[in-house]
Amino acid sequence: MSLSTPAAATEVPAGQRDRATHELRDRLIDAALVEFAASGFDGASTRAIARRAGAHQPQINYHFASKEDLWKATIERLLSEFDELIPLLAGAPPRDQFAAVIRALVEFAAIRPELNRIMIHEATSSSDRLEWLVETHLRWRAGPLLEVWDEVVAVGGAAPVPRELVYHLLIGASALLNANAPEARMLFGIEPTDACIVAAHADALVAMFLPTHP
Amino acid sequence: MSLSTPAAATEVPAGQRDRATHELRDRLIDAALVEFAASGFDGASTRAIARRAGAHQPQINYHFASKEDLWKATIERLLSEFDELIPLLAGAPPRDQFAAVIRALVEFAAIRPELNRIMIHEATSSSDRLEWLVETHLRWRAGPLLEVWDEVVAVGGAAPVPRELVYHLLIGASALLNANAPEARMLFGIEPTDACIVAAHADALVAMFLPTHP
DNA sequence: GTCTATAATTAGATAGAC
DNA sequence: GTCTATCTAATTATAGAC
* DSSP letter (8 states) at residue A9: -
pLDDT of residue A214: 53
CB contact under 8 A, B39 and A176: no
Q: How far apart are CA B121 and CA B99, in angstroms?
A: 27
Kind plus residue range of the DSSP H or E element containing B59:
helix B58-63
Indicate whether A21 pLDDT > 80: no
pLDDT of residue B89: 78
Is residue B146 within 8 Å of B139, Cβ to Cβ?
no
pTM of structure: 0.92
B93's torsion region: left (phi>0), alpha (psi -120 to 50) or beta? beta
Indicate whether A45 pLDDT > 60: yes
pLDDT digit string, tens, across residues B131-147 = 999 999 999 999 999 99
Structural domains in chain B, sorted by start: 13-67 (1.10.10), 86-209 (1.10.357)
Half-sphere exposure of B198 (CA within 13 A, CB side): 15
Positive or negative, the Cα torsion across B144, B150, B156, B161? positive
CB contact under 8 A, A173 and B172: yes
Instruction: Name which of A56-70, A118-132, B17-31, B151-165 the model is least confident about.
Output: B17-31
> Distance, in angstroms, between B40 CA and closest chain A CA?
7
Could you tell me the distance in Å between the CA of residue B45 and the C1' of nucleotide C9? Answer: 14
pLDDT of residue A86: 87
Half-sphere exposure of A39 (CA within 13 A, CB side): 17
The pLDDT of A127-131, averaged and rounded, is: 98
Q: Residue A113: exposed, middle, or buried by beta-carbon count in 10 A (0-12, 13-18, 19+)?
A: buried
Tell me the DSSP string of A129-178: HHHHHIIIIIHHHHHHHHHHHHHHHHHS---S--HHHHHHHHHHHHHHHH
CB atoms within 10 A of CB A63: 19
A142 contacts on B by Cβ (under 8 Å):
187
- Specify the amino acid at residue A67: K
When scoring B71, B168, B178, B191 by the number of chain A Cβ atoms within 10 A, the one with the most, hence best to mutate, is B168
Q: How far apart are CA A47 and CA A60, in angstroms?
A: 9
* DSSP letter (8 states) at residue A135: I
The vertex-B151 CA angle with B150 and B155, nearest 5°, equals 120
Q: Which residue of A has its CA nearest to B126?
A: A182
More reliable by pLDDT, B13 or A93: A93
CB contact under 8 A, B159 and A123: no
CB contact under 8 A, A39 and B42: yes
> Distance, in angstroms, between B18 CA and closest chain A CA?
34
Query: At how many degrees (to 10) do helices A113-122 and B113-122 cross?
Result: 140
Could you tell me the distance in Å between the CA of residue A46 and the C1' of nucleotide C13? Answer: 24
Could you tell me the distance in Å between the CA of residue B35 and the C1' of nucleotide C7? Answer: 30
Is residue A120 within 8 Å of A177, Cβ to Cβ?
no
Instruction: Name which of A3-12, B35-44, B202-211 the model is least confident about.
Output: A3-12
Half-sphere exposure of A159 (CA within 13 A, CB side): 30
Is residue A206 within 8 Å of A95, Cβ to Cβ?
no
Tell me the three-class secondary structure of A39-52, residue by residue.
HHHHHCCHHHHHHH
CB pairs < 8 Å spanning A and B: 182
pLDDT grade for A212, boundaries at 50, 70 and 90:
confident
The pLDDT of B24-29, averaged and rounded, is: 97
